[in-house]
Structure 1
Amino acid sequence: MLKEKGVQAIPIAYYYSFRHDQRPELFIKVGKRIEVNTETSRSELTHKLEQAVTTELDSIKSKLVSEDLSTFDVFMTGRKTLSEWPT
């Protein structure tokens, strides 16, 4: 059991993908905060947090498979890859 009250956790998942380029892209998804109950055992808490992060990771993967990048914001861009150069 946890000793502290009012503890919150935020699941964050990240996924590296090369998609259609020679350089990898990093996709990050931040989930909804989770209130941690002080009566929860460590194993129950671990399982709950694992499920939350897995849900976020599955969400990233499904969006990449369907080529839906509309929910992602670009924070940084690098140099163009060969596949992006004009022919």
Structure 2
Amino acid sequence: MKTHEIEIQKFKAAANNIHGQVLFKIDARVASRAPVDGIEPSSVLVMTEQNARVLMALLKTQIAEFDSKKPKSRHGRHG
């Protein structure tokens, strides 16, 4: 497995697709990363606090969009 360090420079947009996935358009710096001995090889996602806050806001919006497309529950209604 190749490992990378992915540094988010800027989030540009977010959207949902029909496969239940959230897609982000980003500017990022991607660099190869050597695995650390004795540790499972992993890629690392790096971002500033400001970009983390933007990510949180984008995720909240996209999750709300997913929820709005789900059928409304009828539990608890008495008719």
TM-score after normalising by structure 2: 0.36
TM-score after normalising by structure 1: 0.33
